A and B are shown apart, each in its own frame.
Chain A
Amino acid sequence: MTEVVITGLGALSHLGVGVDRFWQGLLAPAPPTPAVAPDPLAHVPIPDFYFLPDGALPDGPETVDGLTIGRATRAALTAAGEAVTDAGPSGADPGRTAVLLGSSIADAYVIEQWRGTKSFPDEDRWTPVFATASVVARELGALGTASTFSNACSGSGYSMATGADMIRAGEADVVIAGGFETYSRVAHAAFNQVGALDPDSCRPFDATRGGTVLGEGAGAVVLERADAARARGARIYATLTGSGWSCEAYHATGLDPDGGQIIRAMRDALDEAGRTPDDVDFVVPHATGTKLNDLTETQAMYGVFGERTADIPLYSLKALIGHTGGASGGLGVVAASLFLHHGVMTPNLPVAHPDPECRVRVPVERTPVGRTAMVNSYAFGGNNMSLLLRGEPR
């Protein structure tokens, strides 16, 4: 099977702009302080949100070829652009360079702002809010497939797994893949109404956890054929060795408590990579901080890894940056790639009151790691994705 490697990374979160800021934030984790959404029309009980820092995004462009774009597309463009710069010139044919990006709501806030201010544009022109991949591809000079997916909080995972499949199928030589999410009044209100938000903080695996805290972010990678990347001397962060896809087909928002489909996703990713559960050195779990999800994911990991689950280092990213929706899996892959690249997992924020029902290891010290990582992402609609990464020899 054609090997697919990650040669470029891009990251954006409340920690700041760029992979360097992301990495510095991971190295010295500080409990995040949520802000109240600066949206006077957002009448919600829990207004907390982790926003990108002021100035993180360029002010423009506000339109591209007549299409109004918003912060979400600018966030995606920022992260994808960084990943492409980081990868360096691949020399790939633009027609064989694809862009696949996932998001829960993409640029829905463009419409929400118009609606909220009652100031719709004069021109009666359709403004599709999921045109982000088209805009990003245009700006980066990619002329292959440019698809915008949703798949909610597993959108990044599906974009990366699909991108790898495109390369293996010979449909593309380079794929820019990832996910993005920025503030939306409707999405924030919906999370409030389904009771998925914690008014204090996002505390995965903590016995007192009450839900998640939403955050803005974008995560992107450049995927390439391994032989081409090695031939041009590209820096390789990791090989995307396997993906496991599954659907709960159970409930609009919840995981099936039996964990069967997320177990299958993890096992399928391992199978595709030709690895066994014992080969996995660390996991970036989905770990949203919601009661049922953390418990179900823990139990599913026990179903895959057995009692070794209690010893596998986990990196609980959402405790630090919140739940970045469609970007969450992408930022999880960026974090895992950096851990594999540096050979060390950065310290987690402490779990103050470990949930006895979630017997997992969330190390708060720098932890040397081996070469095999798993990144999980799950979503409303039951869309699950597990990705397996292998680091380069050190």
Chain B
Amino acid sequence: MTTPSTAADTSAYRTAVSDPVVTGIGVVTQETIDPAGERGDAWFDQRAQLGRGYKYLPKASQYLLAATTRALADTGADLADVPEHHRAVTIGTNNGMSQLYGEFDRTVIEGDSTLLSPATVPYFSVNLVGSRVAMEHALKGYSLGTHTPRVAGLEAVEHGSRALRAGRARWLLAGAAESPLDWSEPGSEGSEDGAVALVVEPADAVAARGGRAHGRVQVRSFLLPPPLAATGEGTAAGLLGAALQEVGVSGPRPPVRLVGADDAVTAAVEAALGGAEVTRHPAGVGCLAPALHVVEALRGPDTEQLVIGVAAQGNVSVARVAPMTS
């Protein structure tokens, strides 16, 4: 019997993170990479952005890797200072593997499974969007993929931050990655394309190294089923009020960025918010837009904002974004 490695005999992970803060932001979208729109659909040059060895990865994985590189650089810290088993990743995606899935399916239908590329076939497993980044940066704490419609990116922060607070890791990469729906799927028009990566660390660790934080992001989610949204006038207000309380909003409500589509749930949430200081933002097909609004709120004026993502299926995530005062 081979003796297994004892290198991982390092169970000192149990130091809960009481105050997680965002220290690194990375965004990869057409607007950030090719702001003039000169490259059209070819806006992301994987070779230029990532170097050799990434050509066959799905686009969402490429975007997330590039966003992660930016976020890591933005922290101003050296990831090598964080033990590998303290580093975790929680990433949301809705459609990140859709094109690959479509290609695989057509290959199997028109040919057979032996024609599937060995390099890409593991990516049928959608959690590999995050796990591929884990491989790249030795994020061995844990890896979790969230996929709830529209709010998966916000949920990545929610579930990831809770895991930090429970001491399951001490360093987190959270965010969202999307690439367009396969052309054959309904609703592909309006597909999102890009990635957001946030590095979340303990505030005390950041202070100890003399680093700076962008701010805090706290997220709570609930479900407002469409029938209740249409008829249960008090339900939306009650659920929303509870979520706001849980993210620590008890006094005057900060301005709201409401990210949703033209559906009954978004309308009910908007009505429950009461209109004042609520800005409606369109939602694309995917979970990227709410995450991008979190980034804008973190980078914006030093005032708290709420980002609320809404899915037509009833999922609502409330993110309280509190930038660090300069």
Contact = CB atoms under 8 A, between A and B. Distances in A.
Contacts of A251: 135
Interface string A150-169: 11100100100010011011
Interface string B223-251: 11111100000010011001000100000
B242 to A, nearest CB: 6
B13 interface: yes
A43 B220 CA distance: 44
A383 B143 contact: yes
A263 B8 contact: yes
Interface stretch (B26-34, B184-192, B206-214, B267-275): B184-192
Contacts of A151: 127, 143-145
Interface string B114-147: 1010100111111110111011011111111111
B127 A152 contact: yes
A245 B141 contact: yes
Interface stretch (B35-43, B64-72, B100-108, B197-205): B100-108
A359 B1 CA distance: 8
Contacts of A383: 127, 131, 142-144
A271 interface: yes
B166 to A, nearest CB: 5
A311 B142 CA distance: 30
A144 B222 contact: yes
Contacts of A347: none
B4 A259 contact: yes
Contact of A357 (B1, B118, B314): B1
Contacts of A115: 102, 105-106, 109, 184
A361 interface: no
Interface stretch (A21-29, A129-137, A220-228, A276-284): A129-137
A162 B142 CA distance: 12
Given A147-B221, A193-B118, A268-B13, A247 B140 contact: yes
A171 B166 contact: no
A249 B135 contact: yes
Nearest to B230: A65
Contact of B4 (A135, A171, A299, A382): A299
B311 to A, nearest CB: 7
Contacts of B216: none
B159 A147 contact: yes
Contacts of B224: 143
Contacts of B121: 190, 193-194
B140 A246 contact: yes
A268 B11 contact: yes
B217 interface: no
B196 interface: no
Interface in A224-264: 245-253, 258-261, 263-264
A142 interface: yes
Given A131-B149, A171-B246, A249-B135, A126 B186 contact: yes
A303 B4 contact: yes
Given A247-B141, A263-B8, 8 more contacts: A143-B228, A152-B125, A165-B162, A190-B121, A245-B163, A246-B142, A379-B127, A383-B143
A53 B12 CA distance: 46
A380 B127 contact: yes
A380 B143 CA distance: 11
Contacts of A44: 108, 112-113
B305 interface: no
Contacts of A303: 3-6
Contact of B223 (A124, A126, A142, A298): A142
B155 interface: yes
Contacts of A192: 113-114
A298 B114 CA distance: 31
Interface string B298-320: 00000000000001111100000
Contacts of A116: 105, 109
B147 A43 contact: no
Interface in B134-193: 134-135, 137-150, 152, 155, 158-159, 162-163, 165-166, 168-169, 181-182, 184-187, 189-190
26 contacts: A43-B108, A45-B113, A65-B227, A95-B242, A124-B189, A126-B190, A130-B149, A134-B148, A137-B314, A142-B223, A143-B222, A145-B223, A146-B223, A148-B146, A149-B145, A162-B159, A192-B114, A247-B88, A247-B89, A271-B14, A299-B3, A299-B4, A302-B3, A303-B3, A381-B128, A383-B142
A260 B4 CA distance: 7
B108 to A, nearest CB: 4
A125 interface: yes
A85 interface: no
A43 B114 CA distance: 9
Contacts of B137: 249
Interface string A290-330: 00000000111011000000000000000000000000000
Contacts of B169: 245
Contacts of A185: 105, 108-109
Interface in A105-145: 105-106, 108, 111-112, 114-116, 120-121, 123-128, 130-131, 133-135, 137-138, 142-145
